[in-house]
Every structure is written in C-alpha cells, then in structure tokens.
A and B are shown apart, each in its own frame.
Chain A
Amino acid sequence: MKSEISARHGPFEKVLASLDELSSNTVVRRGVYAGTLFFFIFIIMIPPLVGILLKWNLIGETIQDPILVARAQNAIAASFAIAFVVSMLDLLAGLPMAWLIVKRRGRLISVVDTLADVPFIIPTVALGYSVLTFWSGPSGVSSLLGVQHLLSPGIWLVILLHFAFSYPVIVRLMVGELQGYNQVYETAARTLGAPAFTAFRTVTIPILKPALISAFLLAFSRSLSETGATAIVAGAFENGSIFIRNARAAGQDGPMVLVSSILMGVSIAIFILISLLGPKLRSPTKHVWTGLEWAFSTRRAANIKDVSTLAIFAVLVAIPSLFVVLPGTAGLLDGTLQKAVSSTGVWATYWSSLVTSYAVALLATLLNLLTGFPIAILIARRKLGARLTAVLDALVTIPVIIPSVALGVSLTIFWNALGNLPEFWVLVLAHTTITYTYFARPMAAAIQSVPEELEEVGRTLGSRPFGTFRKIIIPLTKYSIFSSAVMVLTRSVAETGATVAVVKKLQTAPVLLVAWINNPAAYGASPVGLGILFLVLLAFVSLLLIRVAMRRGD
C-alpha cells in the first residue's frame, strides 16, 4: 500500500469527533445557527441602527441653530457629492485597468496588478499622509513644478485621496468578474460584425452590470466612511465624517447625532435604491454609432486607452500612494529609528497604540470567524428559504454601507446606554460590525462555489454535518477563509472613523498618527514618517500573505 491516511487519535481529534457527533443533533445544529443569527441581529445590526435613536432628543436643540444646520448641510452634501463623483471617476478609470490586467500578460502588467492593491492595503492614514506630502508637501510634485504648494489641503486633495483609495476596490472587484466572464459572448458579438468597442459596450457591460453596481456601491460607501486620512488632507474643509469628528472633539453631541443619523439613513436609502433600481438600469445597447465605434476599436485607439489608463494609475494612484516611503526612510537614517526601537519619548505611546490596534483587530477577526461562518452557510445554502436568505444577504452588506464614523457614534451611545461596557470592548464590537461584511460576504460566495453535492455525498458516506464542514468545506475554501480573515485584520488595524467616535482614553495607531500629523510642530516629520512606515510594512506583510494564499489557491 502506497499511502496511509493521516493519524487521528489525539485529544484534539477526540474533541472534533464529539463535535461531529453533536452536529448530527438537529437541535444543536439549529441552536448554532440561531445563536449566530442572534449575534448578528442584536450585536451587529441593532446597536448601530438603534443607538442613534436613543439621543434623538438632542437633534431638536441643534436644528434651532441655523449656522450649525447650514454647516451640517454643507458637510453632508459634500460627503455624498464627493462619494458620487469619486466613485464614477474610479469606475471610468478602474474598469480599463481591470481589463488591462485580465487581457494583457507580461511583467509590467504583473507589477501594475500588485501596485493596484497598494492603496487598498496601506492604512488610510498612511495613504492620507502620502497623498498630502506628494501633492502638497515641499518635497513632492510641487518641487518638480517649482511651486510651494501645488495643492493646499482642502476639497481637491480630499477628492484625489478618495480617488486613490477607492480605485483598488473597483479594480479588484472587476478583475475577479472579468476573469470569470465567459469570453464566448464577446466572441459571438465580434463574429456577428460588432467592432471590439461595440461588443464591449453592448455585450460585456450589460453582463457585468451587477458587478459594476456592486463596485460603485463599495467605492461610494468607502468614500463616505473614510475619516482618518480625510482629516489629514481636509484642512478647513468639512465633509460629514470630518464634521462628526470635529463635533466630537468640541463636545457637541447634538450636531454629531444629527449628521450621523442623516449619513446613516441616506446611505441605507441609497443602497436600497440602487439595489432595487440597479437591475432596471439599461445601457444604450440598441443603437450602434458605427463610425465612432470602429474608430474606438482600432489598435491605435486601444493603445491610447492603455497608455492613458497606466498614466492615470501612475500619477493619481501609485506614486501618491507610495510617496510615504520617502519621509519614512528619512526617519530610518536620522536616528529616529534608535529612539523608536528603544521605545523612548513618544514611541512608548506609539508601540502601545500599535498593540491596541492589533489586539482589537485580532479579536474582531476571531469574532468574525466564529459568527461569520454559520451566517455564510445560511446564505450560501439558502437554509432560511429564498426570501429570508435574500434579506439576510442584504443585511450583511449594510455594515459596509454605513459610514464608519456615524456607526461609531451610534454604537457608543447604544453601549453606554446599556451600561458601562469597557471602551476596549465597545471598540472590538465596533470593529467587528465594520468588518462583518468583509468576512461573511466572501465566505458565502466561496461556500456557494463548492457544489452542494460534495457535502451530500460526504453525508451519505457516513460523515456528520460538522465533519463534512471541516473535512470538505474548510479545505476547499481555506484560501478564501485566509484572505478574508487577513482583509478583516487589515481593515480593522487601519480603521479610524469609528475608532475616533468610540474611544476617549484608548489610542489605536491610526488615531495616534492622525494626531501626530495634525500637529507637526510637536512631533516632527521623522517620527511621523517612521511611524507610518512601520504601519505600512505590517500592511505589506498582510498583502504578501494574501498574495501567497491566492497563488497557492490557484
């Protein structure tokens, strides 16, 4: 006999065997699903939605102050306007990039593919600092053009920043969609006489419409949520999340609750509206502008499109995102590194904030793993029936739609009203809520891709439900599990908006760094650069892990 089946006699295996046995009990199985549904509804969903209502009375006073109301209106309008414009621009710039990554092969494209993830994986605080130093700092693009500040902090810098960090969301999602897209439809259109551009517009785009809508929604909500990096580049400009941050710093609870509730309500309304109306959107497929579309389909036009795509990516995304390396390396050479390593001065606080960041992120990831799996199974296997599954699926998306700073405000109010839950645990719950979609959604998709008949065959061969889950589902989805868990971890480590709203005493690394950046006189450029570099390096380790996992998954 050539091989032996792996041994399974240890105490751990005995525990697993007992769990296998337990899982055959319908009551236990239903109990697990009910428990996780309870956690999802009462810990993840209800607190952020209900918390804000508990302080509804404060809004009355606020709306008496016309100046404050006007400021709040402007901030909210700016939030939605920026999110809309940035998401549209990202869609226009990101779709050709996704197309390029999928269609073209070669070393350059492989590098571009990796670089496209950079703004996604770099903590937004670091990205904000990077964009600020590139566009506004004396050593950035300003020095090349011989001006002092090409762009001062304000709305344009906010738009550039949001464009950069939403860009990879679009690219990554569309690359995945295009890889799974069956080329045969486009080939059929081409053989029927449609030029490449027409085939893309009339066949590919309508087929990819659901993914385009999802990508738009994700970019939109990400822009609405972002707080930490925006605070760095906003200057005197206020959008919704900066307004909430400022109001919290000034102890103005009323305006904070007003803006939070409007941001939450409008975000959810937009999500529902787009989800309902999106499928009804029709692209103009009936008419073909023959001359123009043939012109767009020539080799030359394709080359111009590719070069422009790469140029936009380089100038607006890649270089501004990586520019943070310069001030970081300066910190390595001027003695700041020694202070950092010896943990003297401000560095003691930095390291402790980093530990807090990772402790919170690890616990949020663990909670996501424990409670996200059953929810993902309920969705993937439609265990609640078609209608309830659709509702659950939509609910799981809501945490990512709600602006995180508004969510943080609401959660703080809710948990404070219930009792004195320690700040650390409120933060863990806030991060679990914010990152819930990042684990449950991809896991539901991954489990859905495993044919149900594998589980069925496993069961008819004598395997218990939990045994089937750990021996079939887990091995077949392990790369998704790993990448989703790392995504949750990095998102949590980088989180600033909700954290600012929740914490009073605790400090996480991104919150600390925002304070350092906003007060350069007190902390200096080198510690800021080095502190951010450490955060970026840790993020890159995560990216590397995801990449390795993905490659092995292939």
Chain B
Amino acid sequence: MPEVHLREVSKRFGSIDAIEDFEIEIRNGEYICVLGPTGSGKTTLVRLIAGLLRPDEGEILIDGKVVNRVPAEERNVAYMPQQYALFSHLTVLKNVAYGPLSRGKDNETASRTAFDALKMVRLNGRAEAFPSELSGGMQQRVALARSLASGSKLLLLDEPLSALDARLRVELRYRLKSMAKSLGLTVIHVTHDQREAMIVADRIVVLRAGRCQQVGTPFHVYQRPDNLFVANFVGESNFLEGTVTRNDSTSAIVELRGGLNVVVQETSFLAGERVALMIRQESTAMTSIAESTNALPGTIQAIRFLGDSLRIEARLTNGDILGARVPVPSVEAYPKVGDEIMTSFNSADVGVYPVPARGIEREIEVA
C-alpha cells in the first residue's frame, strides 16, 4: 500500500499560484478527501500526484521515493477524472483491460484481471457493452473497475460522484469507501461537496486559492475549524464581530455593536481586542424565551422550509443577522415573519477568531 508525501509543493500557471507550499503526509490505506471551492486547486493537486503536472517547487514522494520527474505511466497511480474518461471506441472489458495490457500483461491475464474487476463492481454482465450504452452510475463503476484493474493501490478520484444524480451519489459514496477499505487502497478523493467529504473521508484537506487551510478528521474540521473560511465552508455558520470587554480564567465577554453581550469560553484574547465569533446554525435556537447563557433578542425576517428542518433568519436589535436550523415545529407553533424571538446559544458553542485584516465578509467568501 502506498504512502504519499508532499513537501512544500508549489505549482504556478502564469501569475496564478494554483498550489502554494502544500504539505501533507498521507498514510497507507488512508481515505483522504480534498475539499474546496471551485478554482481552489483541488484538481491541480491530484494531477500533480498523478504525474500529469510537474511541480515548480517542492517534492512529491510515493513510497518514500521522489517522483517529481517520473512520468505518469511509470507512477502506478490510478487517476479517475470527473467525467470518467472512458474510451468510447472500446468495450467495457477492453476499457478495463487497458491498464494491465499497457503494463505488459499478456492478453489472457489482462482479460482475467479486467473481468475480476468488473465482477467487483457488479458489471461483469456488461463486459461487451460500449460505454455509451451504460447509465451514468454504470459508467462510474466501469471507471472504478478500470482503476482497480490497473493494479495500482493509489487511487486519485477527481469529483467521482459529481456527474451522478443525488440519490445515486448518496448510494455510491458508501460503496466507494467500503470497497477502498476492503481492498486496502490509499485514496485521494477530490470534492466540493462537504457532506460527501464528511461521510467518506478518514481525513479532510480544506483548500482555498491553492493554500491548505486545514487538515484533520471530519469531526475535527467541523468542530474545531482553524479559521473563519473553514468554519464557513464546512457547515453553516453565523458570524458576529465584537470587542472583548472582560476576560477571566474561565470565560470572556464580547460586546457586539449596540451593546449586546456574548459570553464565550475562549480566553486567549485580551480585553479590547476585536474578535469574530462563529456559531453553527444548528447550535443556535430561536424561541420565545431565552434558552442558553447567550440570548439575543431579534425579529424573524425569513423562514425557509427544508423538509426535515426550518431555517430561520432573524435580525437582532443591533442589526446583525443570525440564522438557525431548527426542527420543524407543530402547525400551532409554526413561526411567522415579524415574530419577536430570542436567539440563544451556549458559550461552549462559540468559536472565537481574530478579526481578519480584510474583514469577515472577504475572509469567508468562497468565490
């Protein structure tokens, strides 16, 4: 099983830094998800590892060997692009046998390997079909079988589920993970879908503008985002800006504009410092009476029904906007726009960050 190590890898396209000083150690058999908005450098990263691009700086090591100058065909890395890139002129079997044949296996062995890989994805019955005769989900499985049959233990998946409909996507993400684990593959899976990353990844890498923002387990990235961008990109959050007015050994008080106060557990900021507060929307309650340490009065200005929950947006008395994701109430208790409410959250659920020089809005924007 391969181990991948990237050391201060940078890649530029003209004046654009696609990847900048990227560092990561990926362990054998690990399932890594690279998460980031469009244009963040996710695809560039996997293409660098696949050998389709050469880094301008830094080193890429596979199993301890520097592979910067090793061409793609010699890296033994299986790469599955977004649209699968199935060879339309070849049958399913020939597509899957392409890898073993290219790596010098004889026809019989290549056919047998291909057939076994097709069995694994339960498509051995369609070996003679052409890719155009298959559904999107089947094409995805053929592409996966082709990667598996290549014999590589390092699988690079570039948005492997994005071309599928929502239902199939959910089904296949579980299958993908279990197959990778049962075969002992090391997988680097690129996605912009945070839910997908949460479900399949052992660890998540969050990228933004070519720079690594955070690496960690899904739990860690979600619960303890390193910065405001990660907090906003992974999950749905509220952001408030204020000044630390009091600080003791167990808690601190942050004053928002309009004189509203929020108690937080983070005590590393000094009194007088400007800070940004992050509260997850699902940790925010909106009720008629205060439910937590922090209770800020406001008025409902929008309600969106999401099926299993409601998303309520309230304007606080100081003009700040706060969102909450709450269970769907009974018909009698259903809130209305204009209702006066209390927005509450626990001090333990408040993340505190320094206010970025360019402002919170600019810091969290994904485009």
Once the chains bind, are B79 and A456 in contact (CB under 8 Å)?
yes
A462 within 8 A of B: yes
Query: Count the A residues whose beta carbon is within 8 Å of the partner chain — how many?
Result: 27
Contact indicator B89/A476 (Cβ below 8 Å): yes
Tell me whether A453 is interfacial, beta carbon within 8 Å.
yes
> Which residue of chain B has its CB nearest to the CB of A459?
B72
**Among candidates A451, A458, A460, A465, residue contacting B51 with C-beta atoms closer than 8 Å:** A460
Q: How far is the CA of A451 from the CA of B81 in the complex (A)?
A: 11
Q: How far in angstroms is the closest Cβ of chain B from A466?
A: 11
List residues of chain A with CB within 8 A of the CB of B88. 476
> Contact between A459 and B85 (Cβ–Cβ < 8 Å)?
no
Q: Which residues of A contact B102 (CB under 8 A)?
A: 458, 461-464, 467
Which of chain B's residues 49-104 have a Cβ closer than 8 Å to chain A? 50-52, 71-81, 83, 85, 87-89, 91, 93-94, 97-99, 101-103
Chain B residues 82 to 129 lying within 8 A of chain A, measured CB to CB, are 83, 85, 87-89, 91, 93-94, 97-99, 101-103, 107-108, 110-112, 115, 127-128
- A457 on the B face (CB < 8 A): yes
In the bound assembly, the distance between CA atoms of A7 and B102 in angstroms comes to 13
Point out which of B76, B99, B156 has the most chain A C-beta atoms below 10 A from its C-beta. Answer: B99
Q: Are B98 and A463 in contact (CB under 8 A)?
A: yes
B residues near A1, Cβ cutoff 8 Å: 111-112, 115
A3 with B85: CB separation less than 8 A:
no
Which listed residue (A4, A6, A457, A467) contacts B79, Cβ 8 A? Answer: A457
Q: Shortest beta-carbon distance, A459 to chain B, in Å?
A: 4
Is B284 close to A, CB under 8 A?
no
Q: Could you tell me if A5 and B107 are in contact, using CB atoms closer than 8 angstroms? A: yes
Residues of B within 8 A of A476 (CB): 87-89
Verify if B146 is at the interface (C-beta below 8 Å from A).
yes
Cross-chain contact B85 with A454 (CB below 8 angstroms): yes
Does any Cβ of B come within 8 Å of A107's Cβ?
no
Shortest A162–chain B CB gap in Å is 41
A463 to B150, alpha carbons, bound, how many Å?
11
Contact B127 A456 (CB under 8 A): no
CB-defined contacts of A454 to chain B, threshold 8 Å? 85, 87
CB-CB under 8 A from A456, the residues of chain B are 47, 50, 52, 72, 79, 81, 85
Chain B residues near A463: list those with CB within 8 A.
Answer: 73, 98, 102
Pick the contact of A4: B52, B103, B111 (CB < 8 A).
B111
A18 vs B314: C-alpha distance in the bound complex, in angstroms?
A: 71
CB distance from A446 to the nearest CB of B (A): 13
The answer for the CA separation of A7 and B101 in the assembled complex, in Å, is 11
Interface size class of B (residues with CB under 8 A): 35 or more
Q: Which of A24, A457, A458, A472 contacts B80 (CB 8 A)?
A: A457
Q: Mark out the residues of chain B between 194 and 249 whose CB falls within 8 Å of any chain A CB in the assembled complex.
A: none
B147 to chain A, nearest CB (A): 8
Tell me, rounded to whole Å, the shortest Cβ–Cβ distance linking B216 to chain A: 28
User: A279–B101 Cα gap in the complex (Å)?
Assistant: 48
User: A461–B115 contact, CB under 8 A?
Assistant: no
Q: Is A280 an interface residue (CB 8 A)?
A: no
Question: Quick one: which of B93, B94, B108, B150 contacts A461, CB cutoff 8 A?
Answer: B150
Q: What's the minimum C-beta distance from B266 to chain A, rounded to whole angstroms? A: 46
Give every chain A residue within 8 A of B73 (Cβ-Cβ): 24, 459-465
Q: How far is it, in angstroms, between the C-alpha of A476 and the C-alpha of B72 when the chains are bound? A: 22
In the complex, what residue of chain A is closest to B98 when comparing beta carbons?
A461
A504 contacts B by Cβ under 8 Å: no
Q: In the assembled complex, which residues on chain B have CB atoms less than 8 Å from the CB atom of A282?
A: none
The one of B52, B99, B108 in contact with A462, judged by C-beta atoms closer than 8 angstroms, is B99
Residues of chain A touching chain B, judged by Cβ–Cβ distance below 8 Å, are 1-8, 24, 451, 453-454, 456-465, 467, 471-472, 475-476
Of the A-B pairs whose beta carbons lie under 8 Å apart in the complex, a sample of 18, sorted by A's number, is A5-B93, A5-B111, A7-B107, A454-B85, A454-B87, A456-B50, A456-B79, A457-B80, A457-B146, A458-B98, A459-B71, A459-B72, A460-B73, A460-B156, A461-B150, A464-B73, A465-B73, A476-B89
